[in-house]
Chains A and B, each alone.
With several copies, the nearest count.
Chain A
Amino acid sequence: MSVTYLDAIRSAQEKALASDPTVFIYGQDVGRFGGAFKATKNLAERFPGRVIDSPISEDAMVGMAVGAAMEGMRPIVEMQFADFSTVGLNQMLNHAATTYWRTGRTCPMVLRLPSGGTPGSGPFHSQSMEAIYSHYPGIVVMTPATVEDAYTMLLEAVEMPDPVVFCEHKLLYYHLKSDHLPESAVPALRAQVVRAGRDVTCVTYSAMVHEAVAAAKELVEEGYEVEVVDLRTVKPLDTDTILASVARTGRLLAVGESWPWGGASAEVVARVAAEGFELLDAPPKRLNAKDTPIPYHPNLWAAHRPTAVRIAAALREVLRY
């Protein structure tokens, strides 16, 4: 059997629906049609009345979920693309995220964001929005990079008492495959060393984990061993795992597919600089997408985002310091 990243997301939702009667799914075209990416395929048939087509109303979709969650349900809301969640952002940042601290009542809901660039998807179907959601208090922001994590982290997200933004990477949907779904899970709020190495730490998340691993392999030929840390969840950030890795390697590159100003890569570098200053043998470095909208043409897109080649180049700079 072979399971894709998308299958994992679908299966996790199926399992959640089957095991918890308070779970339901709400989103545009998620019902009979099975969603724009087919992440909810056949679920409406299997769970009648619990996989519900919404109007094109992102603000109301999230607001509805907030109310349902406060009333004891565990809604999963699918955005058709992460980029459209800007119009539902207020309900997430100011309502879902503030409810627990303001009122003591939990707001357990999951907002699924099909995120990240793919060739030809352009400025409005390519965004990675974890930085926006992570900046505001009260939200857990997950960014799974593997088939296994897509499955187990989504299951954990549904069970959490807090609002979770679940950033799925569209580029991984169909291409990333695994033999089977995992039996056990690494806790969602923990980062993980996905490749061990002694020379430099590359901290990243989501699709960039694969670019980083590819870069690490490239550098083997040059005699370098790159340790790759997959953040898995960017808010809260598992600083301990990052620092432990930097303690081993003395060097840091933080990579994000999102824009450079103030995202997860800035947060990682700022924390390591502040809390692990003495561990560093070289200046920590960041690599992000360019600071423009995400381009449509594949030529431009390939130059806009970090790739294995560009990550390898950045790693060399850190290594050669």
Chain B
Amino acid sequence: MAIRAAAAAVRSIQEGTDARMERLGRAMLRARLLEEKLGSLYRAGRIVGGVYLGRGQEALSGAGGVALRKGDIFAPLIRDMAGRLAFGEPMEDALRAYLGSRLGPMKGRDGNIHRGDLSRGILPMISHLGAMVSTLAGVLMAKRMKGEKRKVGLTCAGDGATSTGSFHEGLNLAAVERLPLVVVVADNGYAYSTPNERQFACADLVDRARGYGVQGHSVDGTDPWVCAEVLQGAVDRARGGEGPQLVVGKLLRLCGHGEHDDGLYVDSKIQRSERGRDCVQVMESEMKKRGSGKEWQSWRAEAQAEVEAAVIKVSAEPVPDPFEEDWSATKSGSEAEESGSS
């Protein structure tokens, strides 16, 4: 098994790495720049509620999005702007959620990270951590029953989310059903302010894989090349019928839990360690080292232009109007009202 996988990895490195790394690098940059813009909009008071960024986690998240194909399903969590953009969420939809545009898939009814569009293969998350694992498993069960083959589901979680009963039940169910599900845990050392040692007692969260009877993979979440390779491997294995895959990436959240949080509780020793590296900088300097600095600069410029255009566009979009709103939480309710029989 291990040998076959390694061979597959080498082959894929030869064939598609450059294109894949370009997709990843671009997604990382687009996410980073869009999120920086979201931070400014928040500080300018243009976003109500909260802003939750994935700074420092773009490589791991983006690699998940890059590893998927059209027709696959992505169930992102809080810090997955890069994965979303890589998988095909339009920047506009991210902005629409935050700015409450009526034209976004959430129509201003839900906002910020609680967004998605299943017609694009992206499940809209609910806040309750761990909940999306079983939901994604359900999508995959449905696809299996409908006879749709070789479709993979990938979902993300933090170290903290692994403590939820939902996470456990969902992953166990997926393992029993041997579903093509990849669960990516971004272990950034903290859940809000709570450090790993108050969250779990195992040496490494990847140690849980065996207990679920699934394959486990560790990855340095600060290294885009390693992330791309490991995530692609996990997705391929899931697609190949090897059942759920648990990928655990180590990295650091290079921002607060939300933009209201200064994150001062993070241990400065970890910040200065390898784990505290900024994956975007890692990629930039490696690109420069490889003589591709210019390419990187052009990706960045294009991303910046895209962000600016998207902000201008979405800022001009209408916000919801309570008087035009359909206040029916059920479809049968709406129908009843339409037919005048409420």
A residues in contact (CB < 8 Å) with B: 24, 28-29, 31-33, 36, 49-50, 53-73, 75, 81, 83-84, 86-87, 90-91, 94-95, 97-106, 119-125, 137-140, 160-162, 189, 236, 290-293, 295-300, 302-304
Q: Are B329 and A54 in contact (CB under 8 A)?
A: no
A298-B138 contact given A57-B169, A140-B332, CB 8 Å threshold: no
What is the 8 Å Cβ interface bit string for chain B, positions 188-206, against chain A (1 contact, 0 not)?
0001111000111000000
**Which of A31, A71, A100, A137 has the most CB atoms of chain B within a 10 A radius of its CB?**
A71
For B112, what are the chain A residues with a Cβ–Cβ distance below 8 Å? 122, 296
B270 at the interface (CB under 8 A from A): no
In the bound complex, do residue A119 and residue B173 qualify as a contact, i.e. CB atoms below 8 Å apart?
A: no
> Which chain B residue lies CB-closest to A94?
B126
Q: Chain B residues with Cβ under 8 A from A104's Cβ?
A: 105, 107
Q: Interface residue tally of chain B, by bracket?
A: 35 or more
Q: How many A-B residue pairs have CB under 8 A?
A: 264
A162 to chain B, nearest CB (A): 4
Q: A55-B199, A57-B173, A122-B111 are in contact. Are A302 and B49 (CB under 8 A)?
A: no
**B141 contacts partner chain A, Cβ-Cβ < 8 Å:** yes
Task: Tell whether A105 pairs with B172 under 8 Å between CB atoms, given A120-B48, A293-B329.
Answer: no
A75 to B145, CA, bound (A): 11
Q: Are the C-beta atoms of B164 and A56 separated by less than 8 Å?
A: yes
Interface stretch of the complex, out of B32-40, B273-281, B319-327: B319-327
CB neighbours (8 Å) of B123 from chain A are 67, 70
Q: Is the CB of A60 within 8 A of B134?
A: yes
Most buried by A among B47, B118, B145: B145
A99 CA / B115 CA spacing, docked (Å): 11
* B residues whose Cβ falls under 8 Å from a Cβ of A: 47-50, 100, 105-112, 114, 116-118, 123-124, 126-129, 131-143, 145-146, 160-161, 163-166, 169-170, 172-173, 176, 191-194, 198-200, 265, 319-323, 325, 327-333, 336
Contact between B138 and A63, CB atoms less than 8 A apart: yes
Contact, CB under 8 Å: A91 / B141: no
Q: Find out whether the CB atom of A120 lies under 8 angstroms from the CB atom of B50.
A: yes
- In contact, A55 and B327 (Cβ under 8 angstroms): no
Interface centre among B111, B126, B127, by most A CB within 10 Å? B126
